[in-house]
Each structure stands twice: as structure tokens, then as C-alpha cells.
A = this chain, B = another copy of it.
Amino acid sequence: MAYKRSTLMQERLADNRERILKAARALVAEGGFRQASVTAVAQSAGLSTGALYRYFPSKAELFVEVLGAAVAHEVAILGDIARGDGSATQRLRAAVESFARRALQGPYLAYAFIAEPADPEVEAARLIARAQIGDVFKKLLKDGIASGEFPKQSVDIGAACIVGAFTEALVRPVAPTAKRVTEDKLVEGIADFCLRAVGARVGG
């Protein structure tokens, strides 16, 4: 037996991996997928492109992990807020503001959640991410409806509109939401959303 990874080495490897992930996230946040070439990520992490492939089997898998980590973080924060104290109205406001604020800080990262990714594998990860975040808002809507704060409405449509939102609801109808709704219902739901959003009475 001639080689066994020392703890020090173990740590250095883990550190490299972490640095690659961070570099990838930073580059996407800064300039989108466009700027996040394998070469750029490797360079930014202080490694050669070849070395990067020792840590990740492909660019796609690297970005799946980047997306996954970012979303896990996001879901944790939003989940805390959603499970917190206060009325559903207050919690919803807090969640939206929190989400929006973070999105504003790294617009391209938020963008990457929503926009067409370069790779089908990343696309799959994206759909999962959206569903997870959507679930948080869905819970809030259900709470609000149960407490009588919000009028009865489709929580699936509402959640999809809040995350994503409107836009994505149009682009990939019902993909992230569980139940299948008819096109009419979806269109009506979106219209209702917009009308309520501007303060108009939906019934009238």
C-alpha cells in the first residue's frame, strides 16, 4: 500500500470543490450562464480546466449542483418565514420581500432559476427547484385562505404566479404545479391575479 489520502489532503480537495462551486455561482450571478464557461470557472477557482473535471463529471452536473445548493438555501429561508409567527398576510409579505431582495442582489442568479438554461439536465433541476419554492408559497396561500384573510382561489395558480411567476405560468403551464387545470381556468386565474393585483374587484 503506497498511498492514502491524509486529512490535510482530504480538506484541500474539499476546499477545491467548494471553490469551484462558489466560482460558478459567482460567475452566473455576475453575468449569467454566458459568462460561466468551464474555463472561466476553473480559472476563477484557481485551477486548470482539466482539474475541474476531477471534481465534476461535466459542466451540466456542476451547474445542477450550483442550482441545487442555491435553491436549498432559498427554501430554508423562505420555509422559516412561512412557518413563523404573524398572519398569513404578514408572512407572505415577508417571504416575498425576502425573496425579492435576495434576487435583486444577484439578478442573474435569480434569472438562472427561471430562464431557459443551456442544458436539458440543468432544466430538470430547474423545474424541481421551482416546485420546491412554489410549495412554500402554496402553503402560505392555504394558510391565508384557511384564516379567511384571502378569498378562496386556486393556490396552485397563485403560487405559480408568485414564484416565477406570471411569466412562467404562461410559458410552461401547470408544469410546476401538481394538478392539471384547463387552459380556460389557467387564463382566468392569471387574469384574476392581475386584476386583484391592481386592486380591482374581481367579482364586479
Interface residues of A (CB under 8 A from B): 32-34, 89, 92-93, 96-97, 100-101, 103-104, 107-108, 110-111, 114-116, 141, 144, 149-151, 153, 158, 161-162, 164-168, 170-173, 183, 186-188, 190-191, 193-200, 202, 204
Contacts and interface: CB of A to CB of B under 8 A. Distances in A.
B114 A171 contact: yes
B191 A96 contact: yes
Given A96-B194, A195-B89, A167 B165 contact: yes
B97 A158 contact: no
A170 B34 CA distance: 19
Contacts of A141: 198
Contacts of A190: 96, 100
A192 to B, nearest CB: 8
B153 A199 contact: yes
Contacts of A197: 158, 161-162, 193-194, 196-197
Nearest to A202: B199
A191 B101 CA distance: 11
Given A158-B198, A196-B199, A116 B204 contact: no
A160 to B, nearest CB: 11
A150 B198 contact: yes
A106 to B, nearest CB: 10
A95 to B, nearest CB: 9
A67 to B, nearest CB: 15
Given A100-B170, A151-B198, 11 more contacts: A34-B116, A89-B204, A97-B191, A100-B191, A115-B116, A162-B194, A162-B197, A164-B166, A164-B167, A167-B168, A196-B196
